[in-house]
Amino acid sequence: MIKKIIRWLTQWDVVWSAPLAFVAFIAFAFIMQPLFGDSFGSYDPAMYQAAIYAVGVMILFNGAIWLWLWFNFREIYRYYLGQAIDDFNSLKPWQKIFILLAQYWLCAFALILVWLSLV
């Protein structure tokens, strides 16, 4: 039973990571405001709060996308959970590096876009 719960929590990480990100967002404000006030010279520590919020929004969007795939495209969702790992392992090393870097840069770009829209 515990293994099933842990497996489910790893598949649906939005269940625990989104609330954790938003708790960090609120806690950061409570911790930093007494230390720095509203701003600290030309450096505003509130920009980190916008970054934490952007991370939380991205986590929620990611969870919504996976939920959408699970409801509407179950075969794609099942392929991702099972066969996609084997297919990825059969790729050449340069293809793996390209895919991983492309995913990293696309996620970073999306996070920056969300962050800039919040600041």
Domain count, the chain: 1
**Range(s) of the domain holding residue 61:** 2-118
* DSSP code, position 90: T
- Distance between CA atoms of residues 75 and 8, nearest Å: 18
The strand pairing partners of 43, in sequence order, are: 40
* Whether pLDDT at 39 is above 70: no
pLDDT of residue 95: 92
Question: Residues 105-119: what's their mean pLDDT?
Answer: 81
Predicted confidence at residue 28, as pLDDT, reads 78
Instruction: List phi, psi (to 5°) of 45.
Output: -70, -10
**Over 70: is that where the pLDDT of 6 sits?**
yes
Segment holding 8, helix H or strand E: helix 2-11
pLDDT of residue 4 exceeding 80, the answer is yes
**Other C-beta atoms within 10 Å of 25: how many?**
19
**11-15, 25-29, 77-81, 87-91: range with highest mean pLDDT:** 87-91
| CB-based contacts of 36, cutoff 8 Å, min separation 6 | 45
- Overall average pLDDT of the 65-86 stretch: 84
